[in-house]
């Protein structure tokens, strides 16, 4: 596999195997993306990436991490996303969106204002979770979802997926990582339910699989569908790679095309051995044992490093987050480094 060769996922062909990872901008008002999002995401499409993911986008107001998150729970938000998706597609990249529910990590201040839980007087709300367990010892206790609440979550993902299709996105990713709601259901550290959504792995995976089924109702094959997972909690007794491999096999049968392999985020005290490419082995094992395409992400910063991941057969797609914040034109720099011709947009061709 070559970094800059086309790749077909579901019914769509990406122009290369480089993706812009979804990265929260915390710059929306009432869930509405704005000029910041259009320029931020559009410049990465002009920069040559094969797929450009919009940030974690809440499927309901209570599913936001912060009051400044983007959303897709109403028609105004759908209309605001539409020109952004169109611009990304017009410049050769696949417009993608990550649909999310923050669970017990909801109702926080934006990171540059401390990221702490917001009281109601400052715009906060009661977070939702599988069980009434706070993420931190001194954190707010979330409200455990009852059956009716679970149905509302599933319905919200379905409705958001339908709006994503209408807005012109070509790829949906369901966020089931980083300690947010669907990951909370997966992990025994956050899920202590005694009903059909807790206990054994099949029960803990039930909500995610029901969400996938609901999304597939309005996002039919061959439209590509991805799921981001945390392959491990990095905590003994927590969610781990063995369970994640089993889950990936089930998700493949449910109609998922791609597993985006991240890790951590569930508990604050986890010790994450962050170093270049530290999550690539998860993508490699899931790809090999579950027989599903994977995306590698996490401290991948260079063209040669990304090419080595693909050459080793560890993943089918390489997603870069912070490196794309530093350099919207990473893909053009990678093409020059790997001596692969890459046509520039006409207004930029005099520079190439």
Q: The whole model's pTM is what? A: 0.97
| 189's tokens | 């550290």
Where do the domains of the chain lie, and which CATH numbers do they carry? 7-351 (3.20.20.70)
Angle between helical axes of 147-167 and 206-218 (0-180°, round to 10): 40
pLDDT per residue of the chain (352 residues) written in tens, 0 to 9: 999 999 999 999 999 999 999 999 999 999 999 999 999 999 999 999 999 999 999 999 999 999 999 999 999 999 999 999 999 999 999 999 999 999 999 999 999 999 999 999 999 999 999 999 998 878 889 999 999 999 999 999 999 999 999 999 999 999 999 999 999 999 999 999 999 999 999 999 999 999 999 999 999 999 999 999 999 999 999 999 999 999 999 999 999 999 999 999 999 888 988 899 999 999 999 999 999 999 999 999 999 999 999 999 999 999 999 999 999 999 999 999 999 988 888 898 888 7
Q: Which residues are catalytic?
A: 180
């Amino acid at each position: 596999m070559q970094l800059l060769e086309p790749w077909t996922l579901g019914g769509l062909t990406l122009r290369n195997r480089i993706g812009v990872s979804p990265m929260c901008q915390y710059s929306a008002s009432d869930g509405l993306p704005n000029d910041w999002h259009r320029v931020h995401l559009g410049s990465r499409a002009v920069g040559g990436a094969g797929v450009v993911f919009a940030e974690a986008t809440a499927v309901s107001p209570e599913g936001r991490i912060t009051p400044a998150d983007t959303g897709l729970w109403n028609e105004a938000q759908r209309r605001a996303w539409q020109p952004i998706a169109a611009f990304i597609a017009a410049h050769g990249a696949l417009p993608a969106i990550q649909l999310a529910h923050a669970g017990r990590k909801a109702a926080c201040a934006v990171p540059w204002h401390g990221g702490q839980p917001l009281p109601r007087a400052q715009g906060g709300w009661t977070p939702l979770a599988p069980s009434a367990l706070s993420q931190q010892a001194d954190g707010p206790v979330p409200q455990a979802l009852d059956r009716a609440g679970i149905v509302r979550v599933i319905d919200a993902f379905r409705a958001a997926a339908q709006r994503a299709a209408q807005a012109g996105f070509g790829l949906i990713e369901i966020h089931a990582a980083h300690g947010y709601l669907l990951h909370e259901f997966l992990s025994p550290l956050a899920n202590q339910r005694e009903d059909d959504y807790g206990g054994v792995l099949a029960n803990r995976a039930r909500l995610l699989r029901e969400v996938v089924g609901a999304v597939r109702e309005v996002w039919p094959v061959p439209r590509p569908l991805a799921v981001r997972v945390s392959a491990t909690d990095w905590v003994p007794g927590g969610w781990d790679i063995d369970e994640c491999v089993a889950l990936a096999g089930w998700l493949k049968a449910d109609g998922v095309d791609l597993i985006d392999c991240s890790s951590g985020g569930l508990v604050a005290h986890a010790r994450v051995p962050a170093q270049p490419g530290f999550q690539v082995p998860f993508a490699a094992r899931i790809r090999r044992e579950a027989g599903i395409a994977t995306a590698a992400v996490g401290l991948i910063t260079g063209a040669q490093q990304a090419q080595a991941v693909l050459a080793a057969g560890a993943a089918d797609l390489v997603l870069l987050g912070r490196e794309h914040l530093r350099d919207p034109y990473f893909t053009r720099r990678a093409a020059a480094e790997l001596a692969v011709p890459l046509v520039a947009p006409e207004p930029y061709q005099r520079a190439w």
